[in-house]
Amino acid sequence: MVKKIMAKTFLGTVLAAMYLPILWLIVFSFTNTTSISSWRGFSFDAYIELFTGSNSDDILKAIINTLIIAVCASAISTVLGTAAAIGINSVKSKKIKFAYKQTNQIPMVNSEIVTAISLMLLFGMFRSFIVLEGEVQLINVILAHTTFCTPYVLLNVLPRLQQSDNKMYEAAMDLGCTPTQALWKVVIPDILPGIIMGFIMSVTLSIDDFVITQFTLDGGIYTLSTLIYSKASGKKPLPIEMRALSTIIFIVIAALLLYANHKSTSEQKKKKTNTGAKKSPKRSKI
């Protein structure tokens, strides 16, 4: 019992310490001091400034850019990664599997900055053939984000494929489906949760990315993270609307992830009861 209390206290303390600065930021988004270190009464000024202030246009543009990149890169990654998973799952040769595995690992284990530099050099080479200017540069960033999102999609889809029964696919074709029909009507619905999980992961990874975006985008075009960096790296204190923005981003990401987590645990539960396994103990207790 004592052990249990000690353990809980320890976990609680670490969690509290981890969240303290974020909570700090959230609390201080509701006051209007320029520096975050003194409290000057409750106000919504930061939020008003965020939506109507002089920087609001830039912020809106950055948000739009971030979303364009996240959605495009995630969509491409999801298609590429899912197709790849289906392909790799049906490849028999161990050597080819090994090659795919190793390549898939590279963007995940490589240092972000190394990926960033190498892609920057690549796009620099492209520049001698075609010059992308202004908003068109986003194509580069989308491609860059696709490189580090696709491996995660693949890793989310592949286990699903391996769990699913290949006989279903064969049965569908025995019953007269063409391979394409069997793919869309049997395989894809079966692995859909993995595909959705991969997509959500890609979106959060892409929105969260800073280093790779910073090196592949320039010329006054910003995404949220690079905009925050450009505002934060100067000598001036961080503009107050950035606090409000950070709070909103944090809450959105937290909601997305808690939703994804809830979804996957409830699905596991469903599976357990379906197969008649012993019901897992109550999980909702914190």
Partner 1 sequence: MKKPASKFAGFTRKYAALPYGVFMAVFVVFPLIVLLLYSFCETADGSLSFQFTFDNFKKVFSEDNFSMLINSLLVGLYTTVICLLIGYPVAYLLANKNYNRSSVVVMLFMLPMWVNFLLRTLATKAMLEFFGISMGMGTVVFGMVYNFLPFMILPIYTTIQKIDYSLIEGAADLGASARVTFWKVTVPLSLPGVFSGITMVFTPTITTFAISKMLSNSKISLIGDYIDQQVKHLNYNVASAISFVIIIIVGISMIILNKYDKESTNQGGGLW
Chain positions 48 to 87 lying near partner 1, rule: CB under 8 A, are 80-81, 83-87
| Smaller CB separation from partner 1, 36 or 48 | 36
In this chain, which of 122, 132, 164, 263 binds partner 1, going by CB under 8 A?
122
Contact range with partner 1 by CB under 8 A, out of 44-52, 55-63, 177-185, 190-198: 177-185
Q: Is 204 in the site for partner 1 (CB under 8 A)?
A: yes
CA–CA distances in Å: residue 108 to residues 5, 92, 114, 147, 206: 38, 24, 11, 10, 14
In this chain, which of 21, 41, 219, 220 binds partner 1, going by CB under 8 A?
21
Q: 105-113: which pairs have CB atoms within 8 A and are 24 or more residues apart?
A: 105/151, 107/147, 107/148, 107/150, 107/151, 108/148, 108/151, 108/152, 112/209, 112/211, 112/212, 113/211, 113/215
Q: Is 121 in the site for partner 1 (CB under 8 A)?
A: yes
Q: Is 228 in the site for partner 1 (CB under 8 A)?
A: yes
- Residue ranges in 243-282 that form contacts with partner 1 under rule CB under 8 A: 246, 249-250, 253-254, 257-258, 261, 265, 281-282
CB of 238 to partner 1, least distance (A): 6
Q: Is 163 in the site for partner 1 (CB under 8 A)?
A: no
The H-assigned helical ranges of the chain are 2-28, 45-52, 56-90, 94-109, 112-126, 138-163, 166-174, 179-182, 188-208, 211-216, 224-232, 240-274
Burial environment of residue 133 by CB neighbours within 10 A (0 to 12, 13 to 18, 19 or more): exposed
Total residues at the site for partner 1 (CB under 8 A)?
100
Q: Which residue has the tokens 């284990």?
A: 109
In this chain, which of 72, 73, 119, 217 binds partner 1, going by CB under 8 A?
119
CB of 160 to partner 1, least distance (A): 11
| Smaller CB separation from partner 1, 22 or 60 | 22
